[in-house]
Structure 1
């Protein structure tokens, strides 16, 4: 009597393949979620190190670093497109913090008396600082700096004058627009804020937040002399809203004022915006971090971005 050969039947093989496919389908979201959680934890670590550096700077100087340095006085360049011209040199608070982030050598190469785009600052300007890059930010690590100008007609071609290293974070300017005075956040042009000025409480005042450079092109170096602060042309919201304009990719200030909505992946590209679905990470002035999601009430979000507004913040936020 013949013995049937051992092996799988076609039906059994198809069942096994179907089971494996189902398991892979269940496993992939978990793997992706774990990867996003790891990237978000990496960003939180970056923010906490920046927070520690801010406090060490304050201990040494008795004041927080200026949002960025400028020879400009008063308000400048007020316009409907939030375009502001600056006179430089423009170096940001990130640059001031370098010695407190174990980047003393890089800090020593910067000519702070010269504009960012000066040839003598080329090496420093193009140096990426890993701590200033969110693990979830996939933008190119160098951005083009173009000649200044208001949003130009589509036929206009901006000229690239240099490049600069990106930054995935920005300082909290407050609830007022850049050109409005007096500013009510932690950082501003030539600001000299002390911890004693933060009367709302350091645990209830946000200093730095995530802002993906692919949505709002910016660099840790600061504001380029003679440039105007415009939104990045990569922002899909602005490509859709302004199809007739070519938004020139000048470096934006490493500061953000709170918009009329909480951070959202589909919201304003010029505001704070993190790369994570759960929300945007922020550093408080006491060194702790918090998450602001789309469910966060707008009034609480705005209150957290002022240093001395006197707002009452309570409950779970």
Structure 2
């Protein structure tokens, strides 16, 4: 009976097989990452939809007004943010009952409540690991109101006709959730479908610029309950990403500007409760028109 000798793989054959496997993995990983990011982006959009329902439900029981971004009490313009008002409407009624509306957001029992993390307040695309901020490890907050557009944004981007209607101190054109005053829904005369309520300002307190963590913290706005962290007054930044009043305004810096960890743009919540994805390449004039609530600057196709 003949005996057959099994032939082993040569070293070259093994290397070829390994190379083929490496190529296949290299081709597969980007696809997996794209699917994962698509799922994260959808989850982020769902968070904003939940906030949209919460804000409208709040308005329905409060004279049909959108809440102000922050509340002034006793001369303190940063006494409390809008976010504690939303808690009962996002199935966090037990936590809402712990909030003391008679004291400042970072005092008494409000501080430990502010240090509570909620899945709804964090975009899944943003990093989980964050540094501690001024008041310790505050609960993460990756979304903020678009409360105004500053005059210097118009100047830096050569946008004519700074709107007179809906201005605050002549320096800012108000959004649908202004800094200190509640806004009647009927007062959003530019149309709720044309006006942004919330946008992403993700990653804080870590300071990010163009996708890079600089290893330090943003100047303020370190949690979901921090009045400095729940609203954006659109400024834009210059090429150095520092100077205010600039031409770079989406995904440039998360220091109180619109910033997301999605490729090419950011999710926003519109005043009618819909969620849109805004591309980084949108014109400054169109984006400004999307922020203002009653300036008469209706945006075109976006």
TM-score (norm 2): 0.78
Moved more, 97-106 or 185-194: 185-194
Q: State how many pairs are aligned.
A: 267
Q: Alignment partner for residue 203 of structure 1, among 165, 186, 193?
A: 193
SS at structure 1 position matched to 2:280: coil
User: Which residue in the other structure is 1:71 paired with?
Assistant: 73
1:281 aligned onto 2:271: no
SS at structure 2 position matched to 1:61: coil
User: Which residue in the other structure is 1:126 paired with?
Assistant: 115
Map of 1:132-151 to 2, 5 A cutoff? 132-140=121-129, 143-145=132-134
User: Which residue in the other structure is 1:226 paired with?
Assistant: none
- Provide structure 1 residue ranges, at least 5 long, that are not aligned to the other structure: 74-86, 146-160, 218-231
RMSD: 2.9
- Residues 58/240 of structure 1: CA separation in 2 closer, same or farther (3 Å cut): closer
Larger strand proportion, structure 1 or 2? 2
Indicate if the aligned counterparts of 1:263 and 1:293 stay in contact, CA closer than 8 A.
no
User: Which residue in the other structure is 1:302 paired with?
Assistant: 288
SS at structure 1 position matched to 2:145: strand
User: Which residue in the other structure is 2:18 paired with?
Assistant: 17
SS at structure 1 position matched to 2:133: strand
In 1, Cα distance between the equivalents of 2:32 and 2:40?
A: 12
Q: CA deviation at 1:90?
A: 2.1
Map of 1:67-106 to 2, 5 A cutoff? 67-71=69-73, 87=76, 90-106=79-95
In 2, Cα distance between the equivalents of 1:183 and 1:312?
A: 14
- Residues 274/263 of structure 1: CA separation in 2 closer, same or farther (3 Å cut): farther
Map of 1:247-286 to 2, 5 A cutoff? 251=222, 252-260=228-236, 261=247, 263-267=249-253, 269-286=255-272
Q: CA deviation at 1:248?
A: 5.6
Residues 266-315 of structure 1, C-alpha deviation per residue, up to 9 Å, x if partnerless?
34633010011121110001111111222111111110001111113223
In 2, Cα distance between the equivalents of 1:278 and 1:100?
A: 31
In 2, Cα distance between the equivalents of 1:65 and 1:120?
A: 23
In 2, Cα distance between the equivalents of 1:30 and 1:246?
A: 33
